Every structure is written in structure tokens, then in C-alpha cells.
């Protein structure tokens, strides 16, 4: 190569990176594919292709890219580790939990102190309702990174699943000491307080979360639920309507909106909310019970 002149594959790599940063994913893919044509082992390009394909919901193609990186991982162990975690995240997304756990186990065999793998393996256990095992993963990760607010929030979530609510509250408070504006910590603290029937305090947490992220739908819905528990149904309805502006298909918001409307005696409007939610998820038994209960109530009154 002439001194000062970039290689063909390096030029396409830089072009792909620039297009990736501009969210021009199809064009970036084409650039990265040219790198592969020149040097199949150029792992950065293959890994980026996997990332882009995943963002485009072309997950099987993304998995193939990450597997290629893993096959050549000895050339770049750090990149191979990233590919392994990305691959496991896709498997988890599709409910292929056993495969995801196997991928994280492989990562942990290579590096037992891999915090990302420990955390994500805990997340898979959490998805499966195996909260004790999830808690063990988060605690192992926290031994390595004790000031990691995201890990502390995940640990609190596992403790909540185990109904160890006071412990969960203490862990969330620790997360907020580390990161006072952590949205997940604020929202989860509100959820735990609500579980403890401390809904006035819970509402303050949800409001703090919304100050930091005004479009956070989960905090709007959770605030509405706490307001409903306190009998403040008009305010709850406003919270659910706000959530539905941002996410019209939010089933939890629609269900709870139906409950609030029913409490306010606005049964016909409640039926509309329940019907919309059932259109989105006809298999939800709780929704159907609410809907049928309200139909009976209206029928008795009409009779």
C-alpha cells in the first residue's frame, strides 16, 4: 500500500461508520458489505451489520452476523464479547430463553467477571420469573461494580418479585444516591411504595420521574393507578388520558381508564376503553372479567 493511502476496506469501513452515525442504515449496510467482500475477518464491519439488521428487525440476519464475529472471535475478544451479548439480547427478545442463557454462560466461561453478561443473564431469569436466580446474578455483578445504578435497580426489581419490599426500597434508595435522576429508580421506587400502600409518596416519585422524562408513559400510568387507589378518579383519568396520547395502544392505560370511568359512573365510556383494550389483547382474562362485570352492571341497571 502506498504510504498515506488508505486501504479499500478501510475507506468503506469509515464510510459505513459515517452513514451509521447518520442513521442511514441501508446505505451503511452496503458500505459494510464491501468491507466483507475484501476482508471477511473485518469484525467491526460484520458486528455493525448485525447491529443495523437488529435495529431493522431483521433478527435472523443479525444473528448470522454475530455468529460470524464469534467464529472469528480470537482475533478480537472484546468485539466477540459484544457480539455474544447482542446475540443473546435478540434471543431473549424472541423468547428463546434457553439459547440466551447458553450464550451468556459462554460469555461468562470466557470472562467470569463480565458485568454485562451477569446483568443480562439476570434479566433472562427475571423474564422467566426465576427471581432468586436473577437476584444472585445482580448481586454477583454488584460485587464488581457496586456503584452501578442500573444494577441496583434490577436487584430491587428482583427483590420486589420476591415480595421483599422493604429491602427493595433500600436498594432503590442506594441507586438514587448514586444517580438521583435515574428514571427507572424513581419509577420503581414509586411502584414499591404503592405495593406498600404508601400511594401519596408513590405519586411524588412518579411525578419526579416525569419531571426528568415528561414522555415516560409507564410513570403516567403508574401515577394514575396510585391516584385510583386513593379514590382520586378524575385525576387518575387525566393521567391515563395523558399516557394514551403518547401510546394509544397501551393496554394497561386503557384497562385502568375503564376502571376509573366506571368508578365515576361513566359506564358507556368505560365499555369503549375495555373494548379497545380487548381488541388489542383478546386473550387477557383480567380485561375480559372487567368488561363482563361492567356489562352485567349496565344490564341490571337497564332491567
pLDDT in tens, 165-207: 999 999 999 999 999 999 999 999 999 999 999 999 999 999 9
Task: Locate the domains of the chain by residue range.
Answer: 9-94
Whether residue 272 is predicted with pLDDT greater than 50 in this model: the reply is yes
10 — pLDDT class (breaks 50, 70, 90): low
Query: What is the rounded average pLDDT of the residues 212-216?
Result: 95
pLDDT at 70: 85
Residue % of the chain over a pLDDT of 70: 92
pLDDT band at 75 (very low <50, low <70, confident <90, very high): low
Q: What is the pTM of this model?
A: 0.81
For 282, list phi and psi in degrees, rounded to 5. Answer: -65, -15
First to last CA, the chain: 90
38 contacts 8 by C-beta, under 8 angstroms = yes
Please check the confidence at residue 59 and state whether its pLDDT lies above 70: yes
Decide if pLDDT at 9 tops 60. no
Least confident range from 67-71, 93-97, 160-164: namely: 67-71
Domain 9-94 in CATH 1.25.40.10? The answer is yes
Three-class DSSP labels, 41-106: CCHHHHHHHHHHHHHCCCHHHHHHHHHHHHHCHHHCHHHHHHHHHHHHHHHHHCCCHHHHHHHHHH
Q: What is the DSSP string of 122-143?
A: HHHHHHTT-HHHHHHHHHHHHH
- Percent helix, strand and coil across the chain, each to the nearest 5: 80, 0, 20
Between the alpha carbon of residue 123 and those of residues 30, 88, 95, 136, 213, the distances in Å are 34, 11, 12, 11, 24
pLDDT band of residue 60 (cuts 50, 70, 90) is: very high
* pLDDT (average), residues 99-107: 91
User: Residue 103 and residue 112: Cα distance in Å, rounded?
Assistant: 13
pLDDT for 2: 43
The residues near 265 (Cβ < 8 Å, ≥ 6 apart) are none
Give which of 213, 216, 190 is closest to 203, Cα–Cα.
190
Query: 222-237 pLDDT, tens per residue?
Result: 999 999 999 999 999 9
| Average pLDDT for 62-73 | 88
Residue 181 contacts by C-beta under 8 Å, 6 or more apart in sequence?
A: 212
Residues 6+ apart with CB under 8 A from 11: none
Mean pLDDT of the chain: 91
- pLDDT: which is higher, 41 or 291: 291
Residue 129 CB neighbour total at 10 angstroms = 9
Give the mean pLDDT of 201-219: 97
Q: Please write the tens of the pLDDT for every residue from 17-47.
A: 999 999 999 999 999 998 865 565 578 899 9
**What pLDDT does residue 220 have?**
98
Tell me how many degrees the CA angle 30-31-37 measures, rounded to the nearest 5: 85
Give CA–CA dist 297/274, Å, rounded.
14
Is the Cβ–Cβ distance between 264 and 280 less than 8 Å? no
Per-residue pLDDT at 42: 76
Handedness of CA 183, 185, 188, 192 (dihedral sign): negative
Amino acid at each position: 500500500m502506498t504510504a498515506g493511502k488508505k486501504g479499500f476496506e478501510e475507506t468503506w469501513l469509515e464510510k459505513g461508520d459515517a452513514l451509521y452515525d447518520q442513521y442511514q442504515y441501508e446505505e451503511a449496510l452496503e458500505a459494510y458489505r464491501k468491507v466483507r467482500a475484501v476482508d471477511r475477518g473485518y469484525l467491526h464491519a460484520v458486528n455493525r451489520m448485525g447491529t443495523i439488521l437488529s435495529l431493522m428487525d431483521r433478527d435472523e440476519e443479525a444473528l448470522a452476523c454475530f455468529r460470524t464475529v464469534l467464529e472469528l472471535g480470537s482475533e478480537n475478544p472484546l468485539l466477540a464479547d459484544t457480539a455474544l451479548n447482542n446475540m443473546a439480547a435478540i434471543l431473549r427478545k424472541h423468547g428463546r430463553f434457553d439459547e440466551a442463557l447458553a450464550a451468556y454462560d459462554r460469555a461468562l466461561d470466557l470472562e467470569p467477571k463480565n458485568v454485562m453478561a451477569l446483568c443480562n443473564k439476570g434479566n433472562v431469569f427475571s423474564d422467566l420469573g426465576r427471581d432468586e436466580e436473577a437476584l444472585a446474578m445482580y448481586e454477583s455483578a454488584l460485587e464488581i461494580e457496586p456503584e452501578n445504578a442500573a444494577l441496583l435497580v434490577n436487584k430491587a426489581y428482583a427483590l420486589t418479585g420476591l415480595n421483599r419490599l422493604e429491602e427493595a426500597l433500600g436498594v432503590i434508595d442506594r441507586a438514587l444516591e448514586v444517580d438521583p435522576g435515574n428514571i427507572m429508580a424513581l419509577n420503581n421506587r414509586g411502584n414499591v411504595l404503592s405495593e406498600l400502600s404508601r400511594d401519596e409518596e408513590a405519586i411524588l416519585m412518579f411525578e419526579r420521574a416525569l419531571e426528568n422524562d415528561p414522555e415516560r408513559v409507564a410513570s403516567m400510568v403508574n401515577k394514575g393507578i396510585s391516584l385510583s387507589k386513593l379514590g382520586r378518579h378524575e385525576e387518575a383519568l387525566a393521567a391515563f388520558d395523558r399516557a394514551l396520547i403518547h401510546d394509544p395502544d397501551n393496554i394497561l392505560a386503557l384497562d385502568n381508564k375503564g376502571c376509573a370511568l366506571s368508578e365515576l359512573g361513566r359506564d358507556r365510556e368505560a365499555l369503549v376503553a375495555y373494548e379497545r383494550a380487548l381488541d388489542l389483547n383478546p386473550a387477557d382474562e383480567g380485561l375480559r372479567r372487567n368488561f363482563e362485570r361492567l356489562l352485567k352492571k349496565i344490564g341490571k341497571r337497564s332491567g
